[in-house]
Amino acid sequence: MNRPASRFRWPAALLVLVLAATSARAFVDDALSFAYEAANPYAERGWIIREDAWGGDLGQGDKKAVTAQLFRGNSYMFFLATDINGAALRVNIYDAEGNLAESKSWQRGRFAYAEIKPRSTGTYYAIVEIISSPEERTGWALVYGFQRK
């Protein structure tokens, strides 16, 4: 009796997985568009915005650490964004010892920003956080740029 159901179990599970992966990817892509849009005025002011970026999805109150290799002598900016209306995010930059290293940061609704002029070359951590969100999972994207001046 269970046979017909079990016959469809694997394809159904696979379909669910594919749909979940596709939708996760889609909302990260949407978040990425928002992050680039927010960073665009900085590009016009001489910042070079990288084409590579980080992204993912998090629940409310969750944090993630993103590792970045930064070089002393440059200034860096990080733009965090989501496409979820009503969500609030935060990004802060710490050095390899866990000390707050940013020179400036702000948080405005679904956008957050942090700027750093590294005191030494090495690994830094951008801590990404979903402060609040109307959704269970919130897609986020983090882009960064550096300044030649």
> Tokens 């694997």 label which residue?
10
- CB 121, min distance to other proteins, A: 5
Helix (H) or strand (E) holding 56: strand 47-59
> Tokens 């992050």 label which residue?
35
CB 115 within 8 Å of CB 45: no
Comparison of 24 and 131: residue with beta carbon closer to other proteins:
131
Comparison of 49 and 135: residue with beta carbon closer to other proteins:
49
- CB 90, min distance to other proteins, A: 7
Q: How far apart are CA 139 and CA 82, in angstroms?
A: 6
Comparison of 4 and 73: residue with beta carbon closer to other proteins:
73
- CB 1, min distance to other proteins, A: 39
CB 92 within 8 Å of CB 61: no
| Cβ-based burial of 11 (10 A; exposed 0-12, middle 13-18, buried ≥19) | exposed
Comparison of 1 and 47: residue with beta carbon closer to other proteins:
47
Q: Under the rule (CB under 8 A), what is the footprint of other proteins?
A: 46, 48-54, 56, 63-69, 71-74, 90, 92, 94, 96-100, 102, 105, 107, 120-123, 125, 127, 131, 144, 146, 148
**3-class SS of residue 9:** helix
- CB 2, min distance to other proteins, A: 35
